[in-house]
């Protein structure tokens, strides 16, 4: 590992492109009241970005605002304000961070004010908190609300009846509301064009994530992965910008793979891959770099993660299909990770451990995120049983710094990697 005190971190062309894309998007949002652009607040899992763009509606994602606030060191004050306003300590910290942010001027990551929503568009995908969150936002903003109810995959599959149910809501509720808010008629041919661009970008994203099967892995699929999924899980799916970003990123990752290089970390390039792990659960955002560094210090690379599937499990073969525009949107919403039943999650994680030649499986259990933390101990036991690889368990939170104990997490990680080393020495689990 290069000396962090002297290392000059090189930013690849794709990183610079993504930074420009995001800055331009937030600037467009800030200018929306003047330009006449309509804005819809929506969520990452099951988002209908291509449909929104068909009506020239700009997406705003409260989860992204919350996590960026955590990374910028703003979430502590926002959460304290929300709790002062009466929100419980046990409420999802994304919600409290968002509430505190809107009562503090609603300033985005670029320092510009975010616009008030013209529409609240809720795609329910396995997280009950989303509905309560939008009830709060509806009270705050007094704007139209439309809900797309997405059936949970309780039996691990999407049925024709489930698909029809979602498509019918899109036709009868969501599209008419978007027409009303935007003043534009629904253009299915334009939607098809957006979906075709989505599929192209999705294929390149899968190639990037699956590069981690290589030894050494040229990427970190958890900490680095959150940057890779940013454009496609938020405002850019269906755009030419997304196509160009993922084409450039894929070329960079494939070049690293050919050169036998490991992933780039905040402190430089990881020169020796000692451990390969699969991680379940979202990361902590308030101490993101410190959290990542704990893995780097151990020579540990995350080769696959569930968090990078929260906005779509594309490596299972799903691609947005322009030939079936509304049906494919329905399938996308139902296929997001938080909408999968526990047996499907166990099977998926076990496959990752095996296909990515992982040494073990690690859970970061997030205190206030029920859609991830429910069932995680059962998942841990089942994945251990199926793969024969050791599991580990750490605890933190999304954006509340009160629930990130650096010493506790570091001790648990050190013990976990020592356990992997002992199993290697004894020949167990190989």
Using pLDDT thresholds of 50, 70 and 90, give the confidence band for residue 332.
Answer: very high
Percentage of residues of the chain with pLDDT beyond 70? 97
In this prediction, residues 185-198 reach a mean pLDDT of: 98
| DSSP, res 153 | B
For residue 113, CA distances in Å to 46, 105, 109, 292 come to 26, 7, 9, 30
Using one digit for the tens of pLDDT, what is the confidence trace for 5-45?
Answer: 334 455 788 989 999 999 999 999 999 999 999 999 999 99
For residue 145, CA distances in Å to 36, 137, 210, 230, 380 come to 20, 10, 38, 25, 38
In this prediction, residues 53-77 reach a mean pLDDT of: 94
Instruction: Determine the distance from the C-alpha atom of residue 150 to the mean position of all C-alpha atoms in its chain, rounded to a whole number.
Output: 18
Give me the pLDDT at residue 6, please: 36
Q: Say yes or no to pLDDT of 126 above 80.
A: no
- Domains detected in the chain: 13-184 (3.40.50.11890)
Neighbours of 405 (CB within 10 A): 14
Give me the pLDDT at residue 430, please: 47
Give me the pLDDT at residue 10, please: 58
In this prediction, residues 336-364 reach a mean pLDDT of: 95
Tell me the whole-structure pTM to 2 decimals.
Answer: 0.93
Using pLDDT thresholds of 50, 70 and 90, give the confidence band for residue 262.
Answer: very high
Lowest mean pLDDT among 1-10, 63-72, 234-243: 1-10
Mean predicted lDDT score pLDDT of the chain: 92
């Amino acid at each position: 590992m290069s000396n962090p005190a002297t290392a000059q971190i090189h930013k690849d062309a794709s990183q610079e492109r993504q930074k420009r894309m995001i800055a331009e998007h937030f600037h467009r949002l800030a200018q929306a009241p003047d330009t006449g652009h309509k804005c819809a607040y929506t969520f990452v899992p099951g988002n209908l970005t291509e449909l929104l763009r068909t009506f020239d509606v700009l997406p705003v994602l409260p989860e992204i605002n919350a996590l960026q606030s955590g990374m910028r060191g703003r979430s502590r004050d926002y959460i304290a304000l929300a709790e002062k306003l009466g929100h419980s300590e046990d409420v999802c910290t994304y919600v409290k961070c968002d509430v505190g942010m809107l009562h503090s001027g609603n300033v985005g990551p670029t320092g510009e004010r975010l616009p008030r929503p013209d529409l609240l568009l809720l795609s329910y995908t396995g997280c009950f908190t989303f509905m309560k969150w939008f009830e709060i936002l509806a009270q705050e903003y007094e704007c139209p609300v439309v809900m797309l109810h997405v059936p949970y995959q309780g039996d691990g599959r999407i049925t024709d009846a489930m698909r029809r149910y979602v498509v019918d809501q899109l036709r009868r509720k969501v599209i008419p509301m978007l027409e009303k808010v935007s003043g534009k008629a629904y253009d299915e041919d334009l939607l098809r064009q957006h979906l075709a661009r989505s599929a192209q970008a999705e294929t390149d994203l899968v190639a990037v994530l699956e590069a981690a099967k290589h030894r050494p892995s040229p990427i970190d699929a958890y900490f680095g992965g959150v940057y890779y999924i940013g454009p496609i899980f938020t405002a850019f799916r269906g755009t030419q910008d997304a196509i160009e970003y993922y084409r450039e990123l894929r070329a960079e990752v494939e070049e690293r793979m050919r050169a036998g290089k490991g992933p780039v970390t905040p402190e430089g390039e990881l020169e020796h891959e000692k451990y390969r792990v699969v991680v379940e659960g979202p990361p902590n955002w308030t101490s993101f770099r410190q959290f990542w560094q704990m893995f780097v210090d151990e020579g540990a690379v995350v080769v696959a993660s569930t968090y990078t599937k929260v906005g779509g499990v594309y490596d299972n073969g799903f691609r947005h299909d322009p030939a079936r525009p509304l049906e494919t949107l329905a399938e996308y919403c139902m296929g997001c990770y938080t909408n999968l039943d526990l047996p499907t999650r166990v099977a998926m994680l076990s496959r990752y451990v095996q296909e990515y030649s992982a040494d073990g499986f690690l859970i970061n259990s997030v205190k206030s995120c029920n859609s991830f933390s429910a069932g995680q101990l059962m998942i841990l036991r089942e994945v251990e049983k199926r793969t024969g690889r050791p599991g580990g368990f750490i605890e933190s939170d999304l954006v509340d710094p009160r629930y990130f104990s650096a010493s506790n997490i570091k001790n648990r990680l050190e013990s976990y990697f020592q356990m992997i080393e002992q199993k290697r020495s004894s020949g167990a689990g190989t």
